[in-house]
Amino acid sequence: MLSQAGARKSSRTKRPLRLCFVGWGAIASRVGELLADRQPETVEIVAVAVRDADRERAGLPEGIRLISSPEEFAGLDLDMVIEAAGRPAVAIWGEAALRHAGSFVVSSTSAFTDEALLGLLLAVADETGSRILVPSGALGDLGALAAASVLPLDEVSHAIVKPPRAWSGTKAADLVDLDKLTQRTEFFSGSAREAAASFPQNANVAVITALSGIGLDRTRVVLVADPGISRNVHEISAFGAFGKLDLRFENEQLKTNPKSSEMTALSLVRLVENSVATLIR
């Protein structure tokens, strides 16, 4: 017969965390690579959800199952689904992920500017007991801002400063001549909701700041192209009853996608590792 301590130890025996990615682009493949190196025994990538499963994808781990419809989550016995495929993927895969996994990690947080979609996902999570997790993304960790928001916050601002090429292919190209900039140039100022809705690939991170602080409509965001830098920079300021906070992040660009930062992938690795760790850091 097991002793009480032995019974507790047996009940806590962990199986590998069963993980599915939505999308297998620059971020997901980088996270998969790092997890394979760091957590080969505690994390198992069992599937990747895509809309075109017949297309060849580089770097897929051997034995990974490609699925092409949300219904295929059923039966995979998933612990976590990580979305890393862009804003439309949240609406396509989110509800099913919450019904068939313990947690749904949303990287494309610009989807939360759609209040109806956010309301639906929150309702499903409440119904099923699953959780919606927002990674810290390019900001590494905003625990200080989230803690500060326990008391009233008066103001939160976030400047997103990137090299001009990181803004190519976005609305920024219609507002400034990215190829001819010679100095730091601000081309957008507005709320986090407006920034993320208009620049979903580059300003997802503004939603993370907003959710950590005073919300999508009160958080002020400035978008800047600066030919004098090579990293993606985030400058966050807040003040309120807690005092005053200033944070600055200078992130290396993801080699395969300059619109994203290496830190975006690293934050997902940390989130997954904390889900299986005994010591949470």
pLDDT in tens, 23-61: 999 999 999 999 999 999 999 999 999 988 778 887 888
Q: What are the binding residues for NAD(+)? A: 138, 204
Please give the helix or strand (H or E) that residue 34 lies within, else none.
helix 26-38
Handedness of CA 199, 201, 206, 211 (dihedral sign): positive
pLDDT band at residue 1, thresholds of 50, 70 and 90?
very low
Average pLDDT, the chain: 92
Is the CB of residue 245 less than 8 Å from the CB of residue 154? no
Percent with pLDDT over 90 in the chain: 81
Beta strand 185-191 with 220-225 is antiparallel
The pTM of this model reads: 0.89
Residues belonging to the active site: 234
pLDDT of residue 8: 45
Q: Listing from the earlier edge strand, what are the strands of the sheet with 232-240? A: 185-191, 220-225, 153-162, 232-240, 243-251
Which 8-state DSSP code applies to residue 85? Answer: S
Tokens read off for 118? 């956010």
Q: Convert 141-157 to b/e letters by CB count within 10 Å (16 or more is b).
A: ebeebeebbeeebeebb
Q: What are the binding residues? A: 138, 204
Burial class (CB in 10 A: 0-12, 13-18, 19+), 61: middle
- List, in order of start, the domains of the chain with CATH numbers: 4-133 (3.40.50.720), 139-259 (3.30.360.10)
